[in-house]
Amino acid sequence: SLLYQRIQKIEHIPGRLIHITFFFRRHEQLHVLGIYLPPITSSKNNTETLKSINLYLKTHLDSKNQYKKNIIMGDFNINPHKPNTTLTANDTEDNSNGHVTLAFYHKKFLTTLRHHTYKDIVKIYNETPSYTFKNTSNHISYIDIIFVSPNLISHTICASIVDAPIHTDHRLILVALNHKFFNPSKINFINNTPDSIELNRKNSLAHNERYNYKKITKEQWVDFKNFVWDNFLSRSNKNPITNNPQKYVNITFENIVQSIQSAINAINFPIIKNNHHQYEMSYKIRILENDQYYITRLIRNLNRYFTPQTSNIYISINFWNGYKKLNQLKRICSNIDPQSLDLTAADFIWSPYLTSSHYETSLKTLLKIKNYLDVQLQIETSHHQRNKIEKFINRRDNDLRSNQKRMLTSLLDRVPEKIKLDRLVFKDETDTLTFTTDKNEIESIAIDHYSNIGKVDKSPLAYDPSKPLREEWNFIYEPISGIPDDAKKCLNNLITLEELQSAIKDLPSSKAAGPNKISYEIIKQLPLQLLDVLLSLFNYILINEVIPDQFKLAFLYPIPKPTWWNYDINHT
């Protein structure tokens, strides 16, 4: 029942593949793929099926996610541990001259798993595993396997091959997973090695969350620095060295970013959650409002239950009778002095079962409690509003000296406007006014608009390089003579570590992060070893004149003009 409740999606290739996706807490995903490959002897008759299975597997494994863990199991009709079971350079999928061998697609399947470092879980726990299949001639083979992704191995406890409890020529493969995988702990822990770091933080912050850098301890920053460097070394060792400058800068920068993000997710940094709408009133007022609502509802249900027009046939007594039903009422009474309501302590003793004999007494007591709460809520609300008025009066006086922008915004009653690009009105190729909500089309129009904003092509004032400059402008654009060669060469000098550290030190705080979600506060805490890597990357960029593709990405925040933009991007 646990797994059934966690099913998110089921996909299949009829008779050959079933893919079940399970989602657990803390963003953990478990993908179970059950596969039955046709026998090698019938490969020619099942070419399209084998192609579909291989394509499905490759697409699924190429889609990487640190929370995604895979189990790929089934009858593969090939022993992966025998020699020549993976593809070689001579193997080809070209069937024009009969080049495809019978086992080509089976080998391709195993090659894909090997490239993604998937492991036969039985081989991990048993050096020489037993057979999994026996035919009628008592010939045994090892064709039923359970492969697991590298990030799932640490969650396994054991794996073995046992006889099945039913009549079949296949044996049963038993694998046990640690229950902590299905019920992950909320505790983040870090020891001396990156292997002992439990990554159970969510992938990124919500829109109303941010890290509270002021409350991050020195120990957390030390753990962060250690993990960043260890993780970077681990990632760098996995990636092959390339001679292509563009690929090199892309891979190096991506390794740096992924290492930092992994460290951020691993360390339990304190988070500030902004819920301005939720805390307009003080905590005490919110408690009083909840208590007032509870007492009012209790009185209403009491009246309805004992009123002849709405007899107990239609009203359930569960609002009063039952375990813990009156706990909130008892808590409210514990904060009230009964003498202030002309009551005694005995009046605050509530019977767990409601009867008509004490209906009137209970109702009178509840009405007095409600009146008391009404008065207390009015007093507390008035006090809260008076404090807010005094606060904003004092703030406006201070803003006159220290924050004139906020003062003017308040005086002019200006409300910051935001633009949400979820719909657009634009002119198409035929100059017809068109409306769209298609996000891909909106993205294309926005990129084109902001890429060419400020461009003047049709104006008579537009610059034309074929025409000479007017006389009064000539001297302004004359090349400056007398610039020393040393000054020119300085522009091409490589960056030094001192310059990089100085630039990082001068970075401003409390600024929005870019697409990679790495803030300046995080960059200031990077270890010296990673700064050396960054320095080498920047100098490599200067020498080879290439930049990572990630540098070309940025967040775009449209700002409205004084008039309502009316979904026309030209008014932003």
Give me the pLDDT at residue 195, please: 39
Instruction: Flag whether pLDDT at 298 surpasses 50.
Output: yes
Helices marked H in 269-358 = 283-306, 327-334
Say which residues have a Cβ less than 8 Å from residue 203's Cβ, sequence separation at least 6.
27, 66, 67, 265
Confidence of residue 452 (pLDDT cuts 50, 70, 90): confident
User: If 0-12 CB within 10 Å is exposed, 13-18 middle and 19+ buried, where does residue 110 land?
Assistant: buried
Instruction: Flag whether pLDDT at 277 surpasses 90.
Output: no
Give me the pLDDT at residue 311, please: 52
Give me the pLDDT at residue 357, please: 76
Say which residues have a Cβ less than 8 Å from residue 468's Cβ, sequence separation at least 6.
none
Give, for 392, the enclosing helix (H) or strand (E): helix 359-402
What is the distance between the alpha carbons of residues 432 and 392, in angstroms, rounded to a whole number?
Answer: 50
36: which strand partners? 75
Confidence of residue 190 (pLDDT cuts 50, 70, 90): very low
* Residue recorded with tokens 């003009």: 561
Task: Tell which wins on pLDDT, 155 or 565.
Answer: 155
295: which strand partners? none
Per-residue H/E/C for 72-116:
EEEECCCCCCCCCCCCCCCCCCCCCCCCCCCCHHHHHHHHHHHHC
209 token code pair: 């969350």
Q: How many CB atoms lie within 10 A of CB 514?
A: 13
Phi, psi torsion values for 154, nearest 5 degrees: -65, -15
Confidence of residue 189 (pLDDT cuts 50, 70, 90): very low
Q: pTM score, two decimals?
A: 0.44
Half-sphere exposure of 438 (CA within 13 A, CB side): 8
* DSSP letter string, 144-185: EEEEE-GGGGGGEEEEEEE--SSS-SBPEEEEEE-HHHHS--
Nearest C-alpha neighbor of 188 from the set 267, 260, 259, 263: 267
pLDDT mean over 412-435: 76
State what percent of residues in the chain have pLDDT above 70: 84
What is the distance between the alpha carbons of residues 387 and 154, in angstroms, rounded to a whole number?
Answer: 56
Among left, alpha and beta (phi > 0; psi -120 to 50; other), residue 265 is: alpha
Among left, alpha and beta (phi > 0; psi -120 to 50; other), residue 84 is: left
pLDDT mean over 323-335: 82
Give me the pLDDT at residue 326, please: 82
pLDDT digits (tens, 9 = 90+) for 4-35: 778 888 999 998 999 998 887 766 788 999 99
List the chain domain ranges: 2-182, 283-382, 424-455+463-552
What is the distance between the alpha carbons of residues 367 and 325, in angstroms, rounded to a whole number?
Answer: 19
DSSP class of residue 201 equals S
Give me the pLDDT at residue 97, please: 47
Average pLDDT of the chain to the nearest whole number: 81
Where do the DSSP E strands lie in 183-294? 209-211, 271-273
Q: Tell whether the torsion through CA atoms of 94, 96, 99 and 103 is positive or negative.
A: positive
Cα 57–Cα 63–Cα 64 angle in degrees, nearest 5? 120
Half-sphere exposure of 231 (CA within 13 A, CB side): 25
Give me the pLDDT at residue 37, please: 92
pLDDT digits (tens, 9 = 90+) for 342-365: 888 888 888 777 777 777 888 888
Confidence of residue 199 (pLDDT cuts 50, 70, 90): very low
Say which residues have a Cβ less than 8 Å from residue 12's Cβ, sequence separation at least 6.
18, 19
| Contact of 173 with 161, CB cutoff 8 Å | yes
CATH of domain 2-182: 3.60.10.10
pLDDT digits (tens, 9 = 90+) for 477-524: 888 888 888 887 888 789 999 999 999 999 998 887 877 888 899 999
Give me the pLDDT at residue 196, please: 36
Give me the pLDDT at residue 187, please: 44
